[in-house]
Amino acid sequence: MSQLHFFFFPLMAHGHMIPTLDMAKLVASRGVKATIITTPLNELVFSRSIERSKHLGIEIDIRLIKFQAVENNLPEGCERLDLIPSPELVNNFFKATVMMQEQFEQLVEECHPNCLVSDMMFHWTTDTAAKFKISRIVFHGTCFFSLCVAESIRHHKPFKNVSSDSESFVVPNLPHQIKLTRTELSPFDLIEEETIIFQIFNEVREANLKSYGVIFNSFYELEPDYVEHYTKFLSRKNWAIGPLSLCNRDIEDKAERGEKSSIREHEVLKWLDSKKPSSIVYVCFGSAANFTTTQMQELAMGLEASGQDFIWVVRTDNEEWMPEGFEERTKEKGLIVRGWAPQVLILDHEAIGAFVTHCGWNSTLEGISAGVPMVTWPLFAEQFFNEKLVTDVLKIGVGVGSVQWREAASEGVKSEAIAKAIKRVMVSEEAEGFRSSAKAYKEMARQAIERGGSSYTGLTTLLQDIGAYSCKSD
């Protein structure tokens, strides 16, 4: 049989593009030809890493599609979710993604890939795959647990059985007792069936159900009950091949995932080298968080009150958030990184003792892969489900008590709650238990990707399945 060729087509958002790049590199390392499809503005997210891979003899390429931003009343160059200037324009962005179909199909016709791995939101790629008789695999960018929780909520609507937003309900038919409140559900979980947004998500869901299967950035040993539950009750063909971030073995690949770091990696490592093992709190909320000045001040005060040394990644040019004298008082204890940080490199360092995270799945799994306990501070969407996996199932972290952004504008998380959660993970009687459990999952993650491990075998099965599907389609 001739060499397999995979197309990878991620949603234009850092949280989707970064794991897709890792996935393409991983597949290509097995002798498969990999091509990543994106838009001109996002080429830089991939190009440096692709060049390094090519020098190692790995066959990976990138092809560009024009994104019709201006034609959809978006600013010129608005080719990524974090660049959308206001929430009202999100629909325009997704309309523009649908308009990529014609160019995308021209590329499929030209390159004849055997398989298309595309983002869940690109539902129209199911029709493209059917048209060209190739398999489409869906990439959700989250874990089995969160999809099982979301599907149970969609099907059973347990939030309708409580009388207030703060009253908890049990999510039915799951392997563990998982409790949530309405304030932990996103607007998408609460939408009514007659709304336009429900119809859009239903379209996405129907297209995904028609696809060949689902690929996961996870590993069996992390959530075995939910791999089994997803496979049995949702009856979807699936492959767990993560943690994808572990395919980055050299310092450059770790340091430049997504964007070039705004601080030199040797500066960060030198600072960390001067600290004791498990003594640093790493604080980072991904690429999409947008805290108010008041919330930033509460976080600063909470960090200071915890008494712990820290690295804090701040993604704002506005310095009004900083409490008076904060940087001066904490200059020996804290390192503030303004902009993009080499997260995997930092988390892997032995000095890191806890990770204050928004629970985006990439960050959560990077923390797990590094064996670092977490202080969970979800902000929106399925991040609240990921939090429950960390705190209630894996028991490797504690929450600060955050709620969805629609509530957070008035509520916020207070400095006392932040300090309390950090101290609980870092220095309480429970701290050693968190560390021990986190280290055990780190070891499982490393074993999963090695030859004979669950994720290594998952990828082997995926390649065999696509090979068999391609032969059948010819």
> What are the catalytic residues?
16, 119
- Residue for token pair 């207030």: 164
Are the C-beta atoms of residues 25 and 247 closer than 8 Å to each other?
yes
Nearest to 402 by CA among 414, 413, 392: 413
Are the C-beta atoms of residues 151 and 234 closer than 8 Å to each other?
yes
Regarding beta strands 169-171 and 178-180, do their DSSP bridges make them parallel or antiparallel, or are they unpaired?
antiparallel
- Residue for token pair 């804290």: 334
Task: Pull the structure tokens for residue 239.
Answer: 């492959």
- Residue for token pair 């830089």: 44
Alpha carbons 65 and 96: distance in angstroms, whole number: 12
Give per-residue burial for 81-103: e unless 16+ CB within 10 Å, then b. beebeeeebeeebbebbeebeee
Are the C-beta atoms of residues 11 and 119 closer than 8 Å to each other?
yes
Taking the alpha carbons at both ends of the chain, their separation in whole angstroms is: 11
Residues in the chain: 474
* DSSP 8-state assignment for residue 186: -
Task: Supply the angle between the helices 415-426 and 293-306 in degrees, to the nearest 10.
Answer: 40
Are the C-beta atoms of residues 243 and 368 closer than 8 Å to each other?
yes
Are the C-beta atoms of residues 114 and 135 closer than 8 Å to each other?
yes
Alpha carbons 29 and 10: distance in angstroms, whole number: 19
Amino acid in position 286: G
